Structure 1
Amino acid sequence: MSPYRLAVVVGSPSPASRTKLLAQALADAVAAALPVRVQLIELATLAPQLLAGGEARALAPPAQAALQALAQADLVIAATPVYKGSYTGLFKHLFDLLDPEALVGRPVLLAATGGSDRHALVLDHQLRPLFAFFRALSVPSAVYASPTDLSEAGLASAALQARIGEAAAQAVALLRTLRPRAPAAPLPGPARATASA
């Protein structure tokens, strides 16, 4: 059975970030239920290539490969830190370069990190409208993490783990509906009931 293709966008301009920890935790939760092949798209690494070209066809091969991974993904995990009430400029630039038809009908799991809980609305006020433009299917539960939810060692909050489990279960259910494959193992723990709904 061929694995589902999972594109994970880490919108942080810094190579080591809480946003990457959150994105990886979401990818791991999906991978616990489905066979996946993960393509990590780290904008901190791709920044020079993304900013060197004004349009997609002028980009260097690594940046073109990132756009191709997005266009071919069965599921996109889009994670960004919050800066001044919105996603990063580099995150927006990546999606500015993506063909407007590339994500039509594609599930997208939204995630963000910020300096305090007051930034959590970025998920509904910034990220959902962006992916609505692409006519993507935003997973109903999005995941926001503040500094108290994450440490350098990883997840530091049971509430965050529950939110990750819920969002991953919804993403898995969408994938199974849109691209059915052979039966896969259910998600472990409390997310199991949600995944089978």
Structure 2
Amino acid sequence: MTRPRLVGLSANVQRPSKTRALVDAVLGEASAQADLDVRILDFVDAGPGLGAAWTRDQLPPAARSVLDAIEAADGLVVGSPVYKGAYTGLFKHLFDLVDPGALAGKPVAIVATGGGARHALVVEHAFRPLFGFFGALQIPTAVYASDADFHAGLLTEAGVQARAAEAGAQLAALLVHRNATAPLTLAAAE
């Protein structure tokens, strides 16, 4: 049996990043709970060509590899900084290029970061409808963190840490269950 592929995607365009730290926290808990093949990607990895591509076939190789990793994943942890009450435009642009059926039934954990508490509902009002369109299996616990929840780039607020751990555990449980109940393929049965 192969290990489930869990991809973390942080829509930050610089390193280090609070969004990346929050995605890492959920990925860390998920991988502590289960034997997963974990990969994390930042928008920095996609390069500037992501924003210049109007269609999938216009994506440069670096951006195409990010898109391919998202579509091939068994589960996702997605995160974006909040701008004007929603995920970034580049985040939406990338998901506009994702095949509409590629995320159907796949577990997704949602995280977001923002300057203050007033953006906390972005996970419910912006992210959930987007992943609902794809038919993704959104885990119940979403995580939002504001600037005050970090110190020197590290997540330090105990309540947010607990939510990140809860989200990671829920995601790991779903991935393990799905992997254990997946039908054997002909190649795996031989």
Structure 1: segments with no counterpart, 5+ residues: 182-197
Q: What is the aligned partner in structure 1 of residue 48 from structure 2? A: 48
Aligned partners of 1:52 and 1:125: how far apart in 2?
27
Q: TM-score w.r.t. structure 2 length? A: 0.90
Aligned partners of 1:61 and 1:153: how far apart in 2?
30
Distance 1:85 1:46, change over 3 A: same
Check if 1:120 corresponds to 2:123: no
Q: Cα deviations across residues 68-97 of structure 1 (Å, max 9, x unaligned)?
A: 111111110000010000000111111011
Check if 1:61 corresponds to 2:73: no
52-61 vs 38-47, greater mean Cα deviation: 38-47
Aligned partners of 2:26 and 2:65: how far apart in 1?
22
Deviation at 1:153, TM superposition (A): 4.6
Q: What is the aligned partner in structure 2 of residue 93 from structure 1? A: 93
Q: What is the aligned partner in structure 2 of residue 73 from structure 1? A: 73
104-113 vs 145-154, greater mean Cα deviation: 145-154
Q: What is the aligned partner in structure 2 of residue 7 from structure 1? A: 7
Structure 2: segments with no counterpart, 5+ residues: 182-190
Q: What is the aligned partner in structure 2 of residue 193 from structure 1? A: none
Check if 1:111 corresponds to 2:84: no
Deviation at 1:176, TM superposition (A): 2.2
Q: Cα deviations across residues 149-169 of structure 1 (Å, max 9, x unaligned)?
A: 112251211111111111111
The runs of at least 4 consecutive aligned structure 1 residues that moved more than 6 Å come to none
| Aligned residue pairs, count | 181
Higher relative contact order (CA 8 A, sep 6+): 2
Aligned partners of 2:61 and 2:176: how far apart in 1?
32
SS at match of 1:32: helix
Q: What is the aligned partner in structure 2 of residue 158 from structure 1? A: 158
Aligned partners of 1:112 and 1:89: how far apart in 2?
14
Q: What percent identity do the matched residue pairs reach? A: 44
| Aligned-CA RMSD value | 1.4
Deviation at 1:23, TM superposition (A): 0.6
Aligned partners of 1:68 and 1:153: how far apart in 2?
29
Q: TM-score w.r.t. structure 1 length? A: 0.87
Q: What is the aligned partner in structure 2 of residue 147 from structure 1? A: 147
